[in-house]
């Protein structure tokens, strides 16, 4: 077991470090180009490996925060990637079983996370924050899935950005809370949210301006965030 945990730890560190490095690269290169797609896929699989190894270690060692951030980053990474397949929803395209299954699973996971954080003694602020953000994300996704007719222009792209940048925020939060010991609680896990959420909002407004009519324009959509 000790050998397994050691190998799992180094795999987690390697994948997490890879994700930290390539996410900014995917944001900086031309959106929708070959480099953006390549580095986006590297980031996606880095998050899959980092999240899976975090869940394994947390389950064995009973590390609640690591388990939470592992689940959170995995869900948001798949949400961001899956959003690329939703460009024609309401215009002849239908949702698949995977879409409904993932959003309902996320709804249950994050509702449970929020409830545990609220009723746990001592009060668990990390669980409340991530549970609330995850629950709001899945509720908005579920409402969008149930909405009749075409999606608002560029909604798939907003979701793409939110999913991948959100996964990056979760990964940085986990690293900060477990490794940056000089930052006191609760700022050690909150500062990535406070710093990077404004960037997320800016990216959404920059690439999908309000009233842009992106979905119906003749211009090719510009994908943003790490993973098209």
What is the structure's pLDDT at 212?
52
Tokens of 210: 């309000």
Flag whether pLDDT at 222 surpasses 50. Answer: no
Flag whether pLDDT at 216 surpasses 50. Answer: no
What is the structure's pLDDT at 101?
93
pLDDT digits (tens, 9 = 90+) for 78-111: 999 998 888 877 677 788 899 999 999 989 988 9
pTM of this prediction exceeds 0.85: no
Tokens of 207: 């690439």
Q: Which long-range contacts (CB under 8 A, 24 or more apart) does 63-69 make?
A: 64/124, 64/127, 65/126, 65/127, 65/174, 65/177, 65/178, 65/189, 66/174, 66/178, 68/113, 68/126, 68/127, 68/130, 68/131, 69/130, 69/170, 69/171, 69/173, 69/174, 69/177
What is the structure's pLDDT at 143?
86
Least confident of 4-18, 39-53, 176-190: 176-190
Residues 6+ apart with CB under 8 A from 196: 165, 168, 169, 172
Distance, CA of 219 to CA of 25 (rounded, Å): 24
150: phi then psi, degrees, rounded to nearest 5: -65, 150
What is the structure's pLDDT at 71?
86
Distance, CA of 176 to CA of 82 (rounded, Å): 28
89: phi then psi, degrees, rounded to nearest 5: -60, 135
pLDDT band at 45 (very low <50, low <70, confident <90, very high): very high
Distance, CA of 68 to CA of 64 (rounded, Å): 6
Q: Which of the pair, 122 or 19, is modelled with greater confidence?
A: 19
What is the structure's pLDDT at 90?
66
Q: Which of the pair, 22 or 181, is modelled with greater confidence?
A: 22
Distance, CA of 130 to CA of 125 (rounded, Å): 9
Q: Which of the pair, 105 or 153, is modelled with greater confidence?
A: 105
Give the torsion sign (CA, 81, 82, 85, 90): negative
Give mean pLDDT, residues 28-41: 88
What is the structure's pLDDT at 225?
42
Distance, CA of 31 to CA of 196 (rounded, Å): 19
pLDDT band at 228 (very low <50, low <70, confident <90, very high): very low
What is the structure's pLDDT at 220?
47
Give mean pLDDT, residues 158-165: 90
pLDDT digits (tens, 9 = 90+) for 112-151: 889 888 887 777 787 888 889 889 889 988 888 887 777 7
What is the structure's pLDDT at 147?
79
């Amino acid at each position: 077991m000790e050998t397994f945990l050691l190998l799992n730890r180094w795999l987690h560190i390697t994948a997490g470090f890879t994700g930290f490095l390539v996410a900014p690269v995917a944001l900086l290169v031309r959106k929708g180009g070959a480099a953006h797609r390549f580095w986006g896929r590297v980031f996606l699989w880095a998050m899959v490996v980092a999240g899976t190894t975090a869940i394994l270690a947390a389950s064995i060692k009973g590390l609640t925060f690591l388990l939470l951030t592992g689940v959170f980053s995995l869900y948001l990474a798949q949400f961001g990637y899956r959003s690329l397949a939703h460009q024609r929803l309401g215009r002849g395209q239908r949702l698949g079983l995977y879409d409904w299954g993932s959003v309902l699973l996320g709804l249950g996971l994050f509702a449970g996370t929020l409830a545990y954080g609220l009723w746990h003694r001592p009060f668990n602020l990390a669980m409340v924050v991530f549970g609330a953000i995850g629950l709001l994300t899945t509720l908005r996704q579920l409402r969008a899935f149930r909405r009749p007719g075409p999606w608002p222009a560029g909604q798939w792209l907003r979701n793409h950005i939110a999913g991948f940048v959100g996964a990056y925020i979760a990964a940085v939060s986990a690293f900060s809370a477990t490794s940056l010991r000089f930052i006191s609680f609760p700022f050690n896990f909150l500062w990535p949210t406070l710093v990077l959420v404004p960037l997320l909002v800016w990216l959404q407004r920059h690439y999908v301006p309000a009233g842009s009519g992106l979905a119906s324009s003749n211009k090719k959509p510009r994908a943003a965030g790490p993973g098209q």
